[in-house]
């Protein structure tokens, strides 16, 4: 289901830790691996000095991508490399679009070492703006996560973004012969305790069950045999999803998100961003088609 996989790397420990998983994914899908390094020429110091500094950045970039490519060749995988100049997140997103990439894989942190810094400056922006699915890997947790996937989780509310993510979750479950978990979380923290709130909760639960039933029918029609559904209540949506992941031995979390509008920016900050940072397993974020 993936023909071209993009792996941006800065040669950091985080990127190096992610590479083995990236190679596993490329091998599973018989895909071509694109290894990319971005020489960050958008920094003020580089923009001012230019010349020799840019040349040095590009030489270092060539060394980084070649080291990763050699690892791919050792496994007899198809690989191409590139070093480009620019602002990292913009260059990554542009490259993915230009080369019609099917999947973009990134560690949650690189040279900064602190997740929140790189998430704010690169990975988070790629997750927000890339039109292709983005798989984020937490370097410290990769060794603890299973591959091939045995269990895939898709939280869904029946929205267009969740439907786009369902296609990815179903495809991966079928490819890996994995169990597919469909989950709906009711945020009871945003509801009151009076009679009207109770009626609202019941209506939300009915809609959730309908969305889950639709998703289950679709998955089974697409030859995914092991499908389970669940509705849970919680005061924190990301917290409830993380708990489900841990309690059900989930290997991959798939999230649908819009991400480009002002309203969805809030959703990313409150749910997706928290899960990308704190999920104990890899997270695949998928944008709805109209954003592509």
Note whether 4-144 and 151-291 share their fold.
yes
pLDDT tens for 11-65 read 988 899 999 999 999 999 999 999 999 988 765 444 445 567 778 889 999 999 9
End-to-end CA separation in angstroms for the chain: 18
pTM here? Answer: 0.89
pLDDT tens for 168-200 read 999 999 999 999 999 999 888 766 555 556 667
Write the burial class of residue 51 (CB in 10 Å: 0-12 exposed, 13-18 middle, 19+ buried): exposed
Does 248 score more than 50 pLDDT? yes
B/e letters for 219-257, b = 16+ CB within 10 Å, e = fewer, are: beeeebeebebebbebeebbebbbebbeeeebbbbbbbb
> Is there a contact between 107 and 140 (Cβ–Cβ < 8 Å)?
no
Q: Which CATH superfamily is domain 151-291 in?
A: HUPs (3.40.50.620)
Name the residue ranges covered by the structural domains of the chain. 4-144, 151-291
- 64 — phi, psi (to 5°)? -65, -50
CATH of domain 4-144: 3.40.50.620
Rounded Cα–Cα distance for residues 43 and 87 (Å) = 8
3-class state of residue 148 by DSSP: coil
């Amino acid at each position: 289901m993936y023909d071209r996989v993009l792996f941006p790397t800065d040669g950091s420990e985080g990127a190096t830790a992610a590479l083995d998983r990236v190679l596993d994914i490329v091998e599973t899908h018989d895909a071509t691996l694109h290894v990319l390094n971005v020489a960050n020429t958008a920094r003020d110091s580089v923009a001012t000095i230019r010349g020799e500094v840019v040349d040095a950045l590009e030489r270092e970039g060539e060394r980084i991508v070649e080291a990763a490519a050699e690892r791919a060749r050792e496994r007899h995988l198809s690989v191409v490399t590139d070093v480009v100049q620019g602002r990292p997140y913009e260059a990554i997103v542009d490259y993915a679009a230009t080369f019609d990439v099917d999947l973009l894989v990134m560690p949650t942190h690189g040279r900064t070492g602190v997740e929140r810094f790189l998430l704010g400056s690169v990975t988070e922006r790629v997750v927000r703006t890339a039109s292709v699915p983005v798989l984020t890997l937490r370097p410290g947790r990769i060794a603890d996560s299973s591959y091939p996937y045995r269990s895939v989780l898709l939280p869904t509310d029946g929205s267009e973004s969740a439907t786009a993510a369902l296609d990815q979750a179903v495809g991966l479950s079928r490819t890996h012969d994995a169990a597919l978990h469909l989950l709906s979380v009711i945020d009871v923290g945003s509801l009151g305790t009076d009679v009207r709130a109770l009626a609202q909760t019941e209506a939300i639960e009915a809609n959730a069950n309908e969305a889950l039933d639709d998703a289950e029918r679709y998955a089974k029609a697409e030859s995914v045999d092991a499908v389970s559904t669940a509705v849970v209540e919680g005061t924190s949506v990301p917290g409830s999803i993380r708990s489900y992941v841990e309690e059900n031995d989930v290997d991959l979390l798939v999230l649908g998100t819009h991400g480009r509008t002002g309203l969805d920016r809030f959703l990313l900050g409150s749910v997706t961003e928290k899960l990308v940072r704190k999920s104990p397993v890899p997270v695949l974020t998928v944008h709805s088609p109209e954003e592509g």
